[in-house]
Amino acid sequence: MFGNDSELEVMRSPFYELAKKETLDKDAANKLIEEVTFKMNYLESLDLFLQPPMPDKENVAYTRYADRALDPAQRTLYQFPRGQPYKIINNAELFRIQKTSVGENRWASIKRSKPFLETKFFPPFDLKEGNLRKLLFEQKDVYSKSPDSSEYIQWKEDLLALIPNLNHDVTVQLALHLAYDAKVNDRDIWRAIEDASLASLHQLSLTQVSQLEWATMELKPKQVTPRLNTLLQKRAVEAIDGSPSLSDLMDVLQGFRQRKNKDMYMRIRKQIIARKDAIFPASKTPEEAKKRSENIVNLIYTFASNRPN
């Protein structure tokens, strides 16, 4: 059709002829209208011929894909069909961080994003005390059994007899291991950990306070009393209002993440602004400058990622 129509080579826009209408007589004007009508009809037919097909039930749901692959091998290659129709979302969702997957992949992803907190808050947690290693590593199949079994009851009694004699730092590590590795949510065991922690609360560092809060808030239902978490939060607030270090601020942000306490969050924000020169001292060497930059990035990322909703 295109090769036989010589007018396509010289056809101009219909508006070119319309620009001449003021200087035309009656017969020339009629001829002009006929030419414009002919060209408009011609262009409309071309538009109908060249425009894409109307959506149908086979392609309307996959508007993000232009390939309508028929070959099964090509469908596998393009993962066809995989597109989803667009949907209207709330503006707040544009700034929401997608949650990582559950299980081991989840912790691996979190460790990669916060390597500076890896050994403090993320599993696995090691136990160096010999009796604890025997109960929780060598007898792993025992505490996995039913709580009503005789083996579990004996294992539980051995652990309860051991907890009051542990050092405060070992008690914190035990709580982390039970919450994130062994996932033992026995009421009597957690109440024994609570009693041992309250007795040595004055000896706990701010990092250990944050770790204990992090451990007691993991398993549901929570087995410790609100009194323990209230005292832990009080210790953390007192430390924040003092002269906390960079490490202290990041530990509190991570450890009290599930608390979602806006007052504590704003106190930390105030400390970062007021003591920025002390938290990030001026560097004198290139190595110190690099470390200072890393510290700023780590604190800002920890501050943002643990923001309460």
My answer on whether 20 and 145 are in the same domain is no
* Residue 252, domain member (yes or no): yes
Question: 76: pLDDT confidence band, cut at 50, 70 and 90?
Answer: low
My answer on whether 38 and 125 are in the same domain is no
My answer on whether 37 and 137 are in the same domain is no
* Residue 62, domain member (yes or no): no
Question: 267: pLDDT confidence band, cut at 50, 70 and 90?
Answer: very high
* Residue 194, domain member (yes or no): yes
My answer on whether 171 and 34 are in the same domain is no
The contacts of residue 261 (CB under 8 Å, 6+ apart) are 233, 308
My answer on whether 178 and 299 are in the same domain is yes
Residue 232 has pLDDT above 50, yes or no: yes
Domain that holds residue 11: 6-43
My answer on whether 126 and 233 are in the same domain is yes
- Nearest 5°: the CA angle 148, 151, 152 is 55
* Residue 49, domain member (yes or no): no
pLDDT score recorded for residue 222: 87
* Residue 75, domain member (yes or no): no
* Residue 183, domain member (yes or no): yes
My answer on whether 166 and 289 are in the same domain is yes
Tally the domains of the chain: 2
| Mean pLDDT for the stretch of residues 238-247 | 90
Q: Could you give the C-alpha distances from 300 to 37, 116, 251, 270, in angstroms and in order?
A: 67, 13, 13, 13
**Chain segment 63-72, per-residue pLDDT in tens:** 344 455 666 6
| CA pair distance 69, 67, nearest whole angstrom | 6
> Tokens 């009421």 sit at which residue?
187
My answer on whether 23 and 128 are in the same domain is no
pLDDT score recorded for residue 74: 61
My answer on whether 135 and 251 are in the same domain is yes
**What's the mean per-residue pLDDT of the chain?**
80
Identity (one letter) of the amino acid at 74? Q
b/e 97-115 (16+ beta carbons within 10 angstroms → b): eeeeeeeeeebeebeeebe
Higher pLDDT, 242 or 98: 242
Residue 166 has pLDDT above 60, yes or no: yes
**Chain segment 168-222, per-residue pLDDT in tens:** 999 999 999 999 999 999 999 999 999 999 999 999 999 999 999 999 998 888 8
Cite the beta strand spans of 203-245 per DSSP E.
none
* Residue 74, domain member (yes or no): no
pLDDT score recorded for residue 129: 86
